[in-house]
Amino acid sequence: MMCARKCLALGGWLMVAGLSLTCNPFAKKPSVPVVMGPETGVAGVPLTFKATSEDPDGDSVAFMFDWGDTTTKVWTDFILSGETISVSHTYTDSGSCIVKAEAKNGKGRESGWSVGTDIELLSAGPGYPDSLVRTMHLPYGTKRIAISQDGQYLYSLSTLETSVFIASTGAYAIVDSVGVGGVPRSMAVSPDGSFLYVAVPDLDSVVIIRTEDHAVVSKFAAGREPSEIAITPNGDFAYVVCGDSIRVWRTSDLSIVATLAPNRAYPDIQISPDGAEVYVTSSVDSTLVVFNAVTNSVQRTLHLPACGTAVGVSCDGDKLYVGNDDSKIRVISVADWAIVGEIAVLGLVSQIVATPDSEYVLAANFDGRGFPVIRTELDMVVDLLTPGWPVGTIAVSPDGDRIFGSTHEGVTCVFGRR
Q: What is the DSSP string of 40-62?
A: EEETTS-EEEEEE---TT---EE
Residues 141, 80: one domain?
A: no
CA–CA distance, 183 with 49 (Å, rounded to integer):
51
pLDDT of res. 341: 93
In a domain, 8, yes or no: no
Do residues 267 and 380 share a domain? yes
- Read off the pLDDT of residues 354-378 as tens digits, 9 standing for 90 and up: 999 889 999 998 777 788 999 998 8
- Domain end point (choices 122, 141, 160): 122
Q: Which of 122, 141, 162 is the last residue of a domain?
A: 122
CATH number of the CATH domain containing 185: 2.130.10.10
- Tens digit of each residue's pLDDT (9 = 90 or more) over 202-211: 999 999 999 9
Cα 410 off chain centre by: 24
Whether residue 5 is contained in a domain is answered as no
- Classified as helix, coil or strand, 293 is coil
Number of structural domains the chain divides into? 2
Q: Are residues 315 and 408 in the same domain?
A: yes
Q: Is residue 291 part of a domain?
A: yes
Give pLDDT, residue 94: 82
The pLDDT tens digits for 13-22 are: 434 334 334 4
Strand-pair partners of 99: 117
In a domain, 3, yes or no: no
Residue 152 has what pLDDT?
95
Is residue 4 included in any domain, yes or no?
no
Global pTM value: 0.75
Residue 250 sits in the same domain as residue 195: yes
Structure confidence at residue 125 (pLDDT):
59
Is residue 68 situated within a structural domain? yes
Query: In this structure, are 193 and 308 located in the same domain?
Result: yes
Element (H, E) at 7: helix 2-9
pLDDT at 16: 38
Side chain identity at 178, as an amino acid letter?
V
Instruction: Tell whether 7 is covered by a domain.
Output: no
Residue 179 domain boundaries: 131-416
DSSP string, 321-357: EEEETTTEEEEEETTTTEEEEEEE-SS-EEEEEE-TT
| 386 assigned to some structural domain | yes
- Domain boundary residue, one of 69, 92, 122: 122
Note whether 400 and 377 are same-domain residues.
yes
Task: Give the 3-state secondary structure of residue 201.
Answer: helix
144's enclosing H/E stretch is strand 142-147
The residues of the chain scoring below 50 in pLDDT are: 1-23
Burial of 154 (0-12, 13-18, 19+ CB in 10 A): buried
What's the CATH number where 29 sits?
2.60.40.10
Residues 146 and 118 in one domain: no
> Would you state the pLDDT for residue 243?
81
